[in-house]
Amino acid sequence: MAAPTPPETVRRPIPVIINPNARSARAGGMREVIRALSPLVELHETTGTRDASLIAEKLARAGEPLVVAAGGDGTVNEVVNGIVQAGAADRTALGVLPAGTMNVFAAELGLPSSRLDACWRIIEQGQRRRVDLWRIQDTCFVQLAGAGMDAAIIRATTWELKKRFGPLSYIIAGVGQLIRPAPLMTVQAEGRPPVEGTVVLMGNGRRYGGPFPFFPAALPGDGLLDVVVMRGHGPWEFYTMIKGMLSGHYAPGGGERHSVTYFQTASLRIHAGNIPLPFEADGELAGTAPDLEVQRGGSLEVMALG
């Protein structure tokens, strides 16, 4: 007698967090597209601000081994913070379906943002990669953060601009901010002399706002944060920044004589006297504070292209 055929393995549903009412032109119409990707998709729809974080926290506390963020970098950031809040960064992995205005972290992971079906296959079958978690004040980030002018531009980029112009909305908002004065910040990192500037950008990965290697030496899992400090926000600073970005390296050294300073560190402090500084995490405004502390907050497994 032939041995009985073993029962087919039952695969666990994969929770996918999405904002069905997102004003992003792309994310708003993705519900049915994502549902059709696989019978394993289990949609969890948000209804308000910070819902993605609360849903992710609940799923992680319930023991979900994988939670997927469907949206842009802001949605990814909320889901990451929910997993961290649940104390589950060591047991709940992150998947990403890039469906937002900006998908910088997805690009860092090698995900093809124009092919959600390919991204889903990576979520189901791709390699797990551990990336550093960084914390600015009480908010975690996985790709980038900024203080000063950078965060002011994000604050000025309204949902209406994003919906109408997509990624160009940040440039449009930035033009108005660049003609305004900005507070001077003092940046302190262990083993380095203090540096002053009006723009402080921090990267866990190489990309910032696009395909160019803004932080050329960055590795998401090396335990170091890559930092760019711009002394001002005039034409010379932007020329120096763009030159460094296109060439793949910034001028060595740093300090007062450099318009742009680039270095790596394991922690950072930013001071602006009594002036409340806006700061952002993964492209979303995270708050304001006169003094900022940035430090590593553990690590997280993500599904990435092998």
Output the CA–CA distances (angstroms, integers) from residue 240 to 126, 234, 255, in the order listed: 38, 10, 15
Same-domain status, 155 and 290: yes
Q: Which residues contact 231 (CB under 8 A, 6 or more apart)?
A: 196, 197, 198, 237, 258, 259, 260, 261
Structure tokens at 156: 């000025």
> What pTM was computed for the model?
0.84
Q: What is the pLDDT along the chain (306 residues), one digit of tens a residue?
A: 444 444 333 478 999 999 876 555 455 568 889 999 999 999 999 988 889 999 999 999 999 999 999 999 999 999 999 999 999 999 999 999 998 878 999 999 999 888 999 999 999 987 899 999 999 999 999 999 999 877 777 766 656 655 665 555 555 545 555 556 678 899 999 999 999 998 899 999 999 877 678 898 999 999 999 999 988 665 556 556 666 655 556 655 444 446 888 999 999 999 988 888 889 999 888 999 989 999 999 999 999 876
Structure tokens at 279: 């700061």
- Please report which helix (H) or strand (E) contains residue 175, including its range: helix 168-178
Q: Which residues contact 281 (CB under 8 A, 6 or more apart)?
A: 77, 136, 139, 140, 141, 144, 145
Same-domain status, 65 and 193: no
One-letter amino acid at 81 equals N
Q: How many domains does the chain have?
A: 2
pLDDT attached to residue 306: 63
pLDDT attached to residue 20: 73
Same-domain status, 73 and 212: no
- Within a domain: 258: yes
Same-domain status, 291 and 186: yes
CATH code of the domain in which 221 resides: 2.60.200.40
**Residue-range definition of the domain harbouring residue 276:** 144-298
Contact of 217 with 120, CB cutoff 8 Å? no
Give the count of beta carbons closer than 10 Å to the beta carbon of residue 275.
13
- Within a domain: 101: yes
- Within a domain: 303: no
Same-domain status, 160 and 289: yes
pLDDT attached to residue 274: 82
pLDDT attached to residue 67: 98
Positive/negative CA dihedral, 108, 114, 120, 121: negative
Pick the last residue of a domain from 125, 154, 182.
125
Vertex 39 angle, CA 7 and 14, to 5° = 90
Same-domain status, 116 and 214: no
Same-domain status, 227 and 92: no
CATH code of the domain in which 25 resides: 3.40.50.10330
